[in-house]
Amino acid sequence: MISNDFNFQIIHLNSVHSTNIYALELIQKENVREGLVVWSDFQEKGKGQLQNSWHSEAYKNLTFSLVINSKWRVDAGFNLSKIIACSIAKSLDTLTAEKVEIKWPNDILINKKKVGGILIENSIQGNMISSSIVGIGLNVNQEVFPAFAREATSLKLENGTSFVPEEVLHVLLNTIKREYFNFVSQPSGVEQFFLDRLYGLGENLKFKDFSGEFTGIILGVLPNGHLLLNKNGKAKSYENKSIAFLE
Ligand code: BTN
């Protein structure tokens, strides 16, 4: 758990393969303090969810990893993901009046377009998570994006103004610290915010699972992080990778 006298220690790089990998290499070499942040202006091999890559134009955006030694049971690991997604959404709320949502499991949307993503890589001992590398990619000032399955955007494109990435980084880190403690002392506030901002909650949306395309309704997210859907009148849960959003 983040200790109360916790201070962020930031390593700022111009270029790196991936901040998550850099943080992992440091952890394997030396005794890394919780709160270590590896921030790079560019990643040559940024990693995304599901073996995808994360593309981000140099100097325009934020790509960083934060080391947190929270001790969750493996089956409660989604808590951290939830805290981070809510922290990013709350941070963006202070920077833009546009609609910020959290798309299960780890995407941050503005006006339904993807502005950020989270990749948490955990070290596990037995049935406990012993430490987590929380990788965050946030599109800040980039204006042109390749075509992705879900349209990408940036804070600048949606808000119409540029931001200083370092200032956004500090807003994010301070919000993560605050929301982490909020969650530990009283989870219900973060849980409620997560549901309030969960993209598609209670709406008919098109999905694709192993049996094909269908229209379902998101009912919520289970404590283990699985998505709960109403599919043809029956509740059905999905783990990450087993379902795709078609809208
Ligand atoms: C996703 O939406 O697929 C998750 C993207 C996570 C990207 C960040 S950028 C900083 C950190 N380092 C990486 O290599 N990936 C994460």
Cβ of 118 less than 6 Å from ligand 1: yes
* Ligand 1 centroid distance, CA of 186 (Å): 28
- CA distance readout (Å), 83 to 89, 120, 160, 173: 10, 12, 28, 12
Q: pTM of the full predicted structure?
A: 0.96
Cβ of 216 less than 6 Å from ligand 1: no
Confidence of residue 98 (pLDDT cuts 50, 70, 90): very high
pLDDT of residue 6: 63
* Ligand 1 centroid distance, CA of 99 (Å): 22
State mean pLDDT over 119-136.
95
Whole-angstrom distance, CA of residue 31 vs CA of residue 62: 25
**What pLDDT, in 10s, does the model give residues 173-214?**
999 999 999 999 999 999 999 999 999 999 999 999 999 999
Give the burial class of 40: count Cβ atoms within 10 A of its Cβ; 0-12 exposed, 13-18 middle, 19 or more buried: buried
* Ligand 1 centroid distance, CA of 110 (Å): 17
> Nearest to residue 68, comparing CAs of 210, 176, 151, 149?
176
Cβ of 117 less than 6 Å from ligand 1: yes
Confidence of residue 70 (pLDDT cuts 50, 70, 90): confident
- Asked if the model's pLDDT at residue 5 lies above 80, the reply is no
| Ligand 1 atom index nearest CA of 56 | 9
DSSP state of 76: G
The two three-digit tokens of residue 101, written as one number:
């949502």
